[in-house]
Amino acid sequence: MTNIAFIGLGNMGGPMAGNLAKAGHSVKAFDLVQASKDAAAEMGVGIAGSAKEAVAEAEVVVTMLPAGKHVLSVWADILPAVKPGTLLIDSSTIDVESARKAHALAAERGCPSLDAPVSGGTGGAKGATLTFMVGGSAEAFDRGEPILAKMGRKIVHCGGAGNGQAAKICNNMILGISMIGVCEAFVLAEKLGLSHQALFDVASTSSGQCWSLTTYCPVPGPVPTSPANNAYKPGFASALMLKDLKLSQEAAQAAGASTPLGAAAAQLFGLHNAWGEGGTDFSGIIQLLRGRGHD
């Protein structure tokens, strides 16, 4: 049993904290929103009056917050209250630069740290089947892995500080680009009189094969479990895809990497979000490519 503090009990953090409690750890948590605290308490999570109070006795602290600015401000707030040697893990999806700053803050306090963003969405958070992409020292990883294993199924050490975030945004840039490519192919097929099923049967067993096609097919029919069969209910919301594509573009600019298709994908998802589609599944971008009149 480990004393764990958990800050940020939203759609992802709530069930993740619940899984740590279910695994027998003592979890003390905090969020700004009362309803999130109430929902976590029902899952066996202890609730503290503040983030500082939550971390006071912790051996491990996990944060699951919206963006880099939240992580840096929460870590700056709690670090004076944590015991030196406490392991800090941030599982939010944030920019690589802020992640590396957070590691530096922890090091100043004598605390090991990990950036450990996740893939798998709210279903993975509830079912403890998340994939964790982890950046930090080998020693910190060895300490954090058994804790992360109670919230996920696959834990990958990607290298030093910030490399977990780097892996996350590289993966999601592939996903955003590949989904647009698959959608364009279906839109072209429709114009050419080729059925969805025929394109799927060929491309899913040919060189066009990819996850966006075979697991998350953006048209209804060929993959019955894909959000296209459920009016593009997420799934993975377009607003979150846009967030990740923007992070990849910030990182590409800072690092001097040329990512023209990533930039185009960010623009297209920006437009899709501007049409009010931020809350629908990202595969629904096929509607934008068809033209709004085809809705």
Question: Rg of the chain's alpha carbons, rounded to an integer?
Answer: 20
Catalytic residue among 28, 37, 101, 168: 168
d(CA 224, CA 208): 20
Q: With H, G, I as helix, E, B as strand and everything else as coil, classify residue 44.
A: coil
Q: Does 19 bind ligand NAD (CB under 6 A)?
A: no
Read off the tokens for 144. Answer: 């954090």
Is the CB of residue 208 less than 8 Å from the CB of residue 281? no
**In the complex, least distance from residue 125 CB atom to ligand NAD, rounded to whole angstroms:** 8
The residue within the footprint of ligand NAD, chosen from 4, 6, 30, 151 (CB under 6 A), is 30
Residues 183-242 that bind ligand NAD (CB under 6 A): 240
- For residue 178, the tally of other CB atoms under 10 A from its CB is 18
Report, in Å, the least distance between residue 34 CB and ligand NAD: 10
Question: Could you say which of 4, 5, 6, 12 contacts ligand NAD (CB under 6 A)?
Answer: 12
> 287 CB contacts (<8 Å, ≥6 apart)?
232, 277, 294, 295
223: CB partners within 8 A, 6+ apart: 200, 214, 215, 216, 217, 229
Q: Is 92 in the site for ligand NAD (CB under 6 A)?
A: yes
Q: Which uninterrupted H or E stretch holds 40?
A: helix 34-42
> Any catalytic annotation for residue 168?
yes
Is 70 one of the binding residues for ligand NAD (CB under 6 A)? yes
76: number of Cβ within 10 Å: 12
Residue type, 277: E
Which stretch in 11-19, 101-109, 133-141, 175-183 sits in contact with ligand NAD by CB under 6 A?
A: 11-19
Tell me: does residue 51 bind ligand NAD (CB under 6 A): yes
Pick 78 or 288: Cβ nearer ligand NAD: 78
Q: Comparing C-alpha atoms, which of 59, 115, 64 is closest to residue 85?
A: 59
Q: Which of 93, 212, 226, 287 binds ligand NAD (CB under 6 A)?
A: 93
Query: Which of 13, 135, 162, 227 forms a contact with ligand NAD (CB under 6 A)?
Result: 13
H-type alpha helices, 64-120: 68-78, 96-108
Q: How far is the CB of 139 from ligand NAD (least distance, A)?
A: 25
Distance between CA atoms of residues 26 and 73, nearest Å: 25
How far apart are CB 108 and ligand NAD at their closest, in Å?
20
Based on CB atoms, which residue is closest to ligand NAD, 8 or 278?
8
- DSSP element (H, E) containing 270: helix 260-272
Please count the residues of this chain forming the interface with ligand NAD, following the rule CB under 6 A: 25
Based on the shown chain and the rule CB under 6 A, indicate whether residue 90 belongs to the binding site for ligand NAD: no
Cβ proximity to ligand NAD: between 121 and 208 the closer is 121
Q: Is 66 in the site for ligand NAD (CB under 6 A)?
A: yes
Q: Which active-site residues does the annotation give?
A: 168
Which residues contact ligand NAD by CB under 6 A?
A: 7-13, 30-33, 36, 51, 64-66, 70, 74, 92-93, 118, 121-122, 240, 243
